[in-house]
Each structure stands twice: as structure tokens, then as C-alpha cells.
């Protein structure tokens, strides 16, 4: 093994250990936002994969460049997709629909229809109880 290869492998292993240590200390609530940002930064890895492809002079180098570019591009796209989904969670909800028209005010079907629900089922006559008549007309319902 050459000295350059041993140096590169040592740097890789140390970076791996530091990365595991740093990620292990991140609380679960922050993990997704931080990882989506980190994945979107992987454009640097994509640039490195392209440099490998430019400097490669063998089939192995071209295959490694293709694999690295594929995974880096997937990571960049995935980072942006996750970030977009997270930002959707914090968007304001659409305003509530307007109240139902006065035509269905007494039956209850106007509100149910406005909410996209089926109207209430009719009550059989034997289950209805007599209700005392109100003393004043009820114009609000």
C-alpha cells in the first residue's frame, strides 16, 4: 500500500467516526431538518463524482464515477423533497368554507352538504316525541 492510500483511508475512517459521534448527539426533533439540509448540500459530492469521471482513465474509474454521481444526485433530490414536505407542514391551512345558505337552515342538510357530509337520516314517526311549542318564533335556526 502506498502512503497516500493509507493517509486517505485514515482521513476517511476519522471522518466516519466524527460523523457518527455528531449525528448521535442530535435530538430526534432536529434530525429531519438537519438531515434534509445536509442532503441538499451533497451537491459537493456530485461535483467530486464529476471530477472522478474527468480524471478516470480506466473502466473502474468510470464505473466509480457513475455510481458516485448517481448516489449524490439521488441524495440531492431526496434532500429537496424532504425539505419541501417539511415546509408544507408549516403552511397555513385554507380558510374555512362559508356558512351554508338560508335554504337549508331548518333541516340541517345545508350545513352537512356544505361540509361534504351526507344529510342526517330521517327519524321514524314512532321515535319522535312531542315538543312544546316555543313562546316566541325562533328566527336564528
- 87 pLDDT tier (thresholds 50, 70, 90): confident
Contacts (Cβ under 8 Å, ≥6 apart) of 112 = 118, 119, 120
More confident site: 119 or 10: 10
**What is the pTM for the complete model shown?**
0.44
Q: How far is CA 4 from CA 10, 18, 30, 58, 94, in A?
A: 10, 21, 37, 20, 59
pLDDT of 28: 72
Q: For 86-106, b where at least 16 C-beta lie within 10 A, e where not — what string?
A: eeeeeeeeeeeeeebeeeeee
Is the model more confident about 63 or about 113?
63
User: What pLDDT does 112 receive?
Assistant: 54
**Could you state, in order of their start, the residue ranges of all structural domains in the chain?**
30-92
- Say what percent of the chain tops pLDDT 70: 64
Asked whether the beta carbons of 14 and 20 are under 8 A apart, the reply is: no
Residues 6+ apart with CB under 8 A from 30: none
Q: Using CA atoms, how far apart are residues 123 and 90, in angstroms rounded to an integer?
A: 43
For the ranges 22-31, 82-91, 132-141, the lowest mean pLDDT is seen at: 132-141
The CA-based angle 27-32-38, given to 5 degrees, is 105
Amino acid at each position: 500500500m502506498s502512503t497516500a492510500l493509507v493517509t486517505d483511508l485514515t482521513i476517511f475512517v476519522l471522518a466516519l467516526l466524527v460523523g457518527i459521534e455528531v449525528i448521535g448527539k442530535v435530538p430526534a426533533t432536529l434530525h429531519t431538518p438537519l438531515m434534509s439540509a445536509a442532503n441538499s448540500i451533497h451537491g459537493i459530492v456530485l461535483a467530486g463524482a464529476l471530477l472522478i469521471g474527468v480524471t478516470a482513465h480506466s473502466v473502474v474509474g468510470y464505473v466509480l464515477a457513475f455510481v458516485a454521481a448517481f448516489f449524490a444526485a439521488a441524495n440531492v433530490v431526496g434532500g429537496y423533497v424532504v425539505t419541501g414536505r417539511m415546509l408544507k407542514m408549516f403552511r397555513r391551512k385554507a380558510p374555512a368554507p362559508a356558512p351554508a345558505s338560508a335554504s337549508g337552515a331548518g333541516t340541517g342538510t345545508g350545513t352537512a352538504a356544505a361540509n361534504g357530509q351526507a344529510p342526517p337520516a330521517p327519524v321514524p314517526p314512532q321515535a319522535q316525541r312531542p315538543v312544546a311549542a316555543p313562546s316566541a318564533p325562533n328566527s336564528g335556526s
